[in-house]
Amino acid sequence: MRQPYRVAEPGLPERVTVYEVGPRDGLQNEPAVVPVEVKREFVARLAAAGHRVIETTSFVRPEWVPQLADADELLSGMERLPGVRYPVLVPNERGLDRALEHGVREIAIFGSATETFARKNLNRTLRTQFEMFEPVVARALDHGLRVRAYVSMCFGDPWEGPTPVGQVVAVGRALLDLGCFELSLGDTIGVGTPGHVTALVEAFGGPSRLAVHFHDTYGQALANTFAALRAGVTVIDASTGGIGGCPYAESATGNLATEDLVWMLHGLGVETGLDLPALVETSVWLAAELGRPSPSRVVRALGRPGTAGRHVKE
Ligand code: HMG
Ligand code: MG
């Protein structure tokens, strides 16, 4: 894709990996359960648009997230392309068993930086969440899987307020030490601001093995991403169409929209391998399936027939 408004900024990475979370984080928060065929088509369209990592679903307790209760059915009939990673969320050994049955090669565990969210999202305490994750990671590694970790509520928590940076680093390091290859810093409720992002990456000792995961509740997700890029982070989570949220976190709204991220990255001369018009087309299709428009500004700007014009070319 040729981005005509392209002016490079010195000091940024040349290329980033966009870690797509739309089918998981996006669809887990939809009021209605999306049919499994629509989920399969969503994943296929994302791969066709150039995504090389698509977080596909969750093997959590179905009663907790009914929207993704069809994870087994989804993976049974889903085409998986060579060169594309299809990680799934797994909280416990039962989830791992289910993932292994489907030949999953990569999983993500998801810890909480705060006590209240650990209880609400995992039915565990800050401490006992590790007792749940430890055997999951050990067994997954034995099976040759790659394991990512999330740490949620990195900036603030709806019940506890701002999260102390030291607490996030302690939980994040402990998750990495289990044997995870990457740690995604989750701003679950979107309250972070760019200086906070810089401080958090510094507190981890730099960007090595870090990814970022911003929800856009307060409109800060792009600014926060820019701060993360400046700090050297090269893996950015985003959701096509800007859908998303967590059913167990009040006030969590959509993720950073992949299209808004790609517009900024390509404008900065940072390569992603993604085809923006194909992503916009996917969002327009998805919005029709979900029955409501995408919150993404780029989708709004480019998503109507004839509006892309000179602004985006193949
Ligand atoms: P629990 O109720 O404590 O479960 O839930 P349990 O361990 O007591 O087990 C009770 C029963 O559930 C047992 O069945 C288990 O087999 C079954 P029984 O013996 O009674 O017949 N069970 C399962 N069944 C299928 N699959 C499973 C499973 N696990 C147990 N995996 C649990 C504990 C962790 C399972 C629950 O709290 C849970 O599923 N939580 C997930 C919540 C969730 O998915 N939240 C959204 C994702 S996190 C997020 O969005 C944030 C993120 O995007 C980053 C950010 O934004 O910050 C990642
Ligand atoms: Mg999230």
Instruction: Name every protein residue with a CB atom under 6 angstroms from any ligand 1 atom.
Output: 25, 28, 58-62, 64-65, 89, 91-92, 94-95, 98, 110, 121-123, 150, 152, 186, 188, 213, 215, 246, 248
Calpha distance 246→84 (Å, rounded): 25
Distance 68 CA to ligand 2 centre (A): 14
Exposure b/e, 56-76, CB count within 10 A at least 16 = b: bbbbbeeebbebbbbbeebbe
Element (H, E) at 177: helix 165-177
Amino acid at 17: T
Q: Which of 183, 228, 190 is nearest to 210 (CA)?
A: 183
Distances (CA, A) of 226 to 154, 194, 205, 305: 17, 8, 18, 30
CA 9 to chain centre: 25
Q: Determine which one of 118, 246, 264, 265 is catalytic.
A: 246
Calpha distance 73→70 (Å, rounded): 5
pLDDT by position in tens, the chain (length 314): 567 789 999 999 999 999 999 999 999 999 889 999 999 999 999 999 999 999 999 999 999 999 999 999 999 989 999 999 999 999 999 999 999 999 999 999 999 999 999 999 999 999 999 999 999 999 999 999 999 999 999 999 999 999 999 999 999 999 999 999 999 999 999 999 999 999 999 999 999 999 999 999 999 999 999 999 999 999 999 999 999 888 888 777 899 999 999 999 999 999 999 999 999 999 999 999 999 899 899 999 998 765 655 566 54
Query: Which DSSP string do the residues of 272-300 spell out, in sequence order?
Result: ----HHHHHHHHHHHHHHHTS----HHHH
CB distance 215 to 244 below 8 Å? yes
Atom of ligand 1 nearest to the CA of 91: 34
Q: Which of 18, 94, 101 is nearest to 55 (CA)?
A: 18
User: Which residues, listed in sequence order, are joined to residue 148 by a DSSP beta bridge?
Assistant: 108, 182
Residue nearest to atom 2 of ligand 1 (CA): 123
* CATH class entry, domain 17-302: alpha beta
Distance 245 CA to ligand 2 centre (A): 6
Tell which one of 61, 136, 191, 214 to mutate to probe ligand 1, the residue whose CB is within 8 A of the most ligand atoms.
61
Calpha distance 305→154 (Å, rounded): 39
Atom of ligand 1 nearest to the CA of 245: 50
Distances (CA, A) of 235 to 13, 18, 121: 10, 6, 24
Locus of tokens 């999953």:
104
Neighbours of ion ligand 2 (CB under 5 A): 25
Tell which one of 60, 89, 148 to mutate to probe ligand 1, the residue whose CB is within 8 A of the most ligand atoms.
60
Calpha distance 258→12 (Å, rounded): 19
**246 included as an active-site residue:** yes
